[in-house]
Amino acid sequence: MSTRAAITGMGMLTPVGRGAEEVFHALCVGKSGLSVPAADHPAADSVDVGGFVPDIDPRTVVSGPAASVVDKTVVLALVTAAEALADAGIEVGRDVDPHRIGVIVGGVGGMAMLEKQVLARGDRGRAAVSPYLLTGILPNMPAARIAITHGIRGYSASIGTACASGAQAIADALRLIRAGDADVVVCGASEAPLFPTFADTFGNARALARRWPDPTAASRPFDKRRNGFVLAEGAAMMVLERVEHAEGRGAAAYADVAGWGATTDAHHPTTPRPDGSGAAECMRRALASAGVEPSAVGYVNAHGTSTKLGDIAETAALATVFGADGPPVSSTKALTGHMLGTSGVVEAAASALAAARGVLPPTYNLDDVDPDCPANHIRTTPRTEKPGFALSNSFGFGGQNVSLVLGDASTANKRNG
């Protein structure tokens, strides 16, 4: 049985666009998705700049009275999962046994709707709280509603490893397929953090980018002038498929997920180990899982959130694993902002497409590299070179580290893009 799994479908709704092709193009040409919030947006008083996606009427994906209290995380997850399955050409029951397909979704859960209901209770009393609230906000609801909608009867889970949760969902999907417990897994993350209380906690911690007249300049990973990350929303789902299963149905693949690594810093709730040792070990484990040497990696999509300590620690980790003359590195969060768990899925997709197509997106806004962040940075324009394997990093609060190794598709039918 293969140690890799093919990515046969993608669905994305991000600040820079919708769908894999539109998103990857935006990341390569420098289309920013960052903007000042509209005056009537709930987070208008909480963030100077954010990454926003269009509102989708919940009634288009959830029926009945529950639609009035379903969180945006659930709505975005349902939309992108449907797009990923359609992109893969999979109908459950026709193309895969319902018990041989799973669903794993990461994210912080539906806290925006919870906030609204708490405020409603304060204003109007207990009767204002909807009996459908729990099924609109529980962390397992994105995965559960995807399963219900598509008749998925195999393994189902929700992942809560903060900003690493989307990458963790992909890693767990690969583990599930390698173990022989599934032929197909829908995996990804959905996040909708742009509401007052959640944004205010970051703002009061001085973690968010601030005082940038041009919102598109606010996210600047590894740049000397960076002063925080840009909070963003979005969802992204992949269809991960056992290579033999994909070949058996003649499916085209974007790329393969070749390996994964996961570690915990055990250091601090919010700050990484300064020497990046936890992240370095995570990357080593991902390479070992993929069975490749560090020299085989020709591109790294960094976690690179545009925070002072995080960017320095990750750069140190990269130097530990790859040496001073390591592979080309970029952070696409300069354009998307930080979509929390969803970022890891979008960045894994970007890494997969970079590996398959030989186009490496740059880090935009990297005008003056911080001397404490030395690396082989891709700046200003994409590089055209076949990277062999690509590595994507995702690091979350609590010291959660996940790295993924991605490569060109080993399946007979490849998407050429």
Catalytic residues, which ones?
Answer: 163, 303, 338
- Tell me the H-state helices in 188-340: 196-204, 243-248, 277-290, 308-322, 333-336
Give yes or no for a contact between 364 and 334, defined as CB atoms under 8 angstroms apart: yes
Write phi, then psi, for 13 (nearest 5 degrees): -135, 105
Left (φ > 0), alpha (ψ -120 to 50) or beta: where does 71 sit? beta
Give yes or no for a contact between 265 and 164, defined as CB atoms under 8 angstroms apart: no
Choose among 366, 351, 263: nearest CA to 306: 366
Choose among 82, 252, 257: nearest CA to 177: 257
Give the amino acid at 7.
I
Give yes or no for a contact between 327 and 351, defined as CB atoms under 8 angstroms apart: no
Positive or negative, the CA dihedral 272, 402, 168, 202 is positive
Burial class of residue 202, CB neighbours in 10 A (0-12, 13-18, 19+)? middle
Q: What gap in Å lies between CA 11 and CA 114, rounded to an integer?
A: 26
Instruction: Report the alpha-carbon angle 122-195-104, nearest 5.
Output: 110
Specify the residue for token string 């304060």. 122
Q: What is the DSSP letter of 97?
A: -
